[in-house]
Amino acid sequence: MFLYHGVHAAERSTPEKQQLVYSAGVMFLSAEDPYDIAFRSFEPILTPTLPEEKVGVIADVVFPTGIDQRTDIGMPDRYDVYYGMADNRIGVARLDLPQSLEWL
SS3 for 21-50 is EEEEEEEEECCCCCCCEEEECCCCCECCCC
Whether residue 46 contacts residue 92, with contact meaning beta carbons closer than 8 Å, is answered with no
For the stretch 1-26, pLDDT in tens is 889 989 988 888 788 888 899 999 99
Per-residue pLDDT at 102: 60
What average pLDDT does this structure show over 21-39? 92
Give the per-residue pLDDT at 41.
87
- The radius of gyration of the chain's CA atoms, rounded to the nearest angstrom, is 15
Tens digit of pLDDT for each residue in 42-99? 899 999 999 999 999 999 999 999 999 999 999 999 999 999 999 999 999 999 988 7
pLDDT at site 13: 79
- If DSSP codes are grouped into helix, strand and coil, which group holds residue 64? strand
